[in-house]
Amino acid sequence: MRLGAGPADLGGDQIEGHHAVHELLAAGRRRVKAVWVVAGLAGDEPLGQIVALARRQQVPVQVRSPDALTSAARTNAPQGVIAWAEVVHAVPLAELLAPHVAGPPPFLLVLDGVTDPGNFGALLRTAACAGATGVVIGRHRSAPLTPAALKSAAGAVEKVPISLVPGIPAALQLMAKAGVWRVGLSPAGPVDLWRTTLLDAPVALVLGSEGNGLSRLVVQRCDVLARIPQSGALESLNVAAAGAVACFEVARQRAIQA
């Protein structure tokens, strides 16, 4: 059921889970081909809201047996609903770097090799909740927008623009030319994130891969390497958790300066 695929597409054409499907329909940014709901629950909340919203938009709604829905699902818990839609289109990096006179300064989340769909989706959700103006991923070594990623994102993909770039190091150079500070997160960073004074300026938070962290070239392109202060027994945070802490530190500092 894939719609409108092209070279700058990110996938994301199969959407599962009531939060993700509701936001897909509510945002109205992508053409929706069909919505399946499980028999017996179509009139109950929250699926009832999804059915009503889909019908108002003249999206075909099909009631399916639990077995049929489970067979079509690509996650373990589709929560009784699956939708098929146009793929998510990437936006040019230049669009994310363009100055916005009336809006906040750029606040980008850059993912250098995050390959786990669950982490990717969680980071998209964090970006949306913390007020990030965009997410940047590389064409290689990046998690796709699978149903699992979309379910973890809980609709954030409908709200936060995503730029797909040939390489993260080159993208970071373009950010520097656009006046965006590049702050890499690293447990070995010499700067305490709480004391970083760049976060209320145009900024890109750069997160590394789950296993290896930031790549060598990406480290060289960062203006600052910052660490999240820790006092517990474990050495480091999961990348999704670290991203959440860092994104909301940006949001906190910007709220203080506002």
Do 137 and 163 have their domain in common? yes
pLDDT digit string, tens, across residues 168-187? 999 999 999 999 999 999 98
**How far is it, in rounded angstroms, from Cα 15 to Cα 10?**
13
Do 114 and 68 have their domain in common? no
Q: What is the amino acid identity at position 233?
A: A
How many domains does the chain fold into? 2
Do 21 and 51 have their domain in common? yes
The answer as to whether 231 is a domain residue is yes
Per the structure, the complete domain to which residue 64 belongs is given by 14-85
The residue out of 85, 109, 141 marking a domain boundary is: 85
Predicted local confidence at residue 4, as pLDDT: 40
The answer as to whether 180 is a domain residue is yes
pLDDT exceeds 50 at position 1: no
Confidence of residue 101 (pLDDT cuts 50, 70, 90): low
pLDDT digit string, tens, across residues 13-49? 999 999 999 999 999 999 999 999 998 776 677 898 9
% of the chain exceeding 70 in pLDDT: 93
The domain that holds 23 is classified in CATH as 3.30.1330.30
Predicted local confidence at residue 197, as pLDDT: 84
- The sheet with strand 32-38 has its strands ordered as 14-16, 81-85, 32-38, 61-64
Name the token pair of 214.
């930031």
The answer as to whether 8 is a domain residue is no
Contact 208, 243 (CB under 8 A): no
* Sequence-ordered list of residues with C-beta below 8 angstroms from that of 40, at least 6 positions apart, any chain: none
Do 211 and 101 have their domain in common? yes
The domain that holds 154 is classified in CATH as 3.40.1280.10
The answer as to whether 5 is a domain residue is no
The answer as to whether 235 is a domain residue is yes
Do 76 and 187 have their domain in common? no
Q: Which of 29-38, 60-69, 102-111 has the lowest mean pLDDT?
A: 102-111
DSSP state, 167? -
Do 147 and 111 have their domain in common? yes
> Average per-residue pLDDT in the chain?
91
The answer as to whether 22 is a domain residue is yes
Do 139 and 181 have their domain in common? yes
Specify the DSSP element, H or E, that contains 37.
strand 32-38
DSSP state, 120? H
Do 132 and 231 have their domain in common? yes
The answer as to whether 3 is a domain residue is no
pLDDT exceeds 50 at position 145: yes
Predicted local confidence at residue 141, as pLDDT: 87
The residue out of 85, 104, 119 marking a domain boundary is: 85
| SS3 track for 188-225 | CCCEEHHHCCCCCCCEEEEECECCCECCHHHHHHCCEE
Do 242 and 120 have their domain in common? yes
The residue out of 66, 85, 104 marking a domain boundary is: 85
pLDDT exceeds 90 at position 250: yes
Do 183 and 242 have their domain in common? yes
Do 65 and 102 have their domain in common? no
Do 121 and 142 have their domain in common? yes
Predicted local confidence at residue 174, as pLDDT: 97
Confidence of residue 3 (pLDDT cuts 50, 70, 90): very low
Between 119 and 210, name the one with better pLDDT. 119
The answer as to whether 108 is a domain residue is yes
Q: What is the pTM of this model?
A: 0.91
